[in-house]
Amino acid sequence: MSAAGYLLLILCMGVVTYLPRMLPLVTFSRRKLPPWFVEWLELIPPAILSALIAPTLFTQAAPRVFVLGKIELVAALPTLAFALKTRSLAGTVVVGMLCYWGLHYLM
C-alpha cells in the first residue's frame, strides 16, 4: 500500500471514530430529553464497567471456569466498600492496589 493509501486509511478511521461521538452530541444538545431517558443513560457507564471487570473477578483460565476465591475478587471487596464510603477515585485506586498487592504477597 502506498503512503497516500495509508493516509487515506488513517483519515477514514478518524472519521469513523469521530462521527459516533459527535452526532449524538449535536443531535441531543439542543433537545430536552425525557427524565427516564437521562436516568437510563446514567446506567450505561456502570454496566460497561461491570461487563469489563466481571470476567476478571469471577472466572479463570482459557476455558472460563467460575472461581470465587480469586485474589482479584477478595481485593475488590474492601476496595468497593472504601469507594462507596468515601467516593474518592484516587483513594479507591490506592486502596485497591494495596489490597491486591498485600493479598498477592500473603498468598
One-letter amino acid at 14 equals: G
What angle (nearest 5°) sits at the alpha carbon of residue 9, between those of residues 13 and 12? 40
Residue-number span of the structural domain to which 14 is assigned:
1-30
Q: Compare 60 and 8 and report the one with higher pLDDT.
A: 8
Backbone angles phi, psi at 45, to 5 degrees: -60, -45
Does the structure show a pLDDT above 90 at 1? no
Same domain, 20 and 56: no
In order of 19, 34, 42, 45, 50, the CA distances from 23 in angstroms are 6, 19, 19, 19, 26
Instruction: Report d(CA 59, CA 12) in Å as an integer.
Output: 37
Same domain, 3 and 45: no
Same domain, 85 and 68: yes
Does the structure show a pLDDT above 90 at 101? yes
The predicted-structure confidence for 16-58, as pLDDT tens digits, reads as follows 999 999 998 898 888 888 999 999 999 999 999 999 999 989 9
Q: What percent of the chain has pLDDT over 70?
A: 100
Same domain, 38 and 25: no
Same domain, 22 and 42: no
Same domain, 17 and 69: no
Same domain, 59 and 86: yes
Helices (H), 29-88: 35-42, 44-58, 71-86
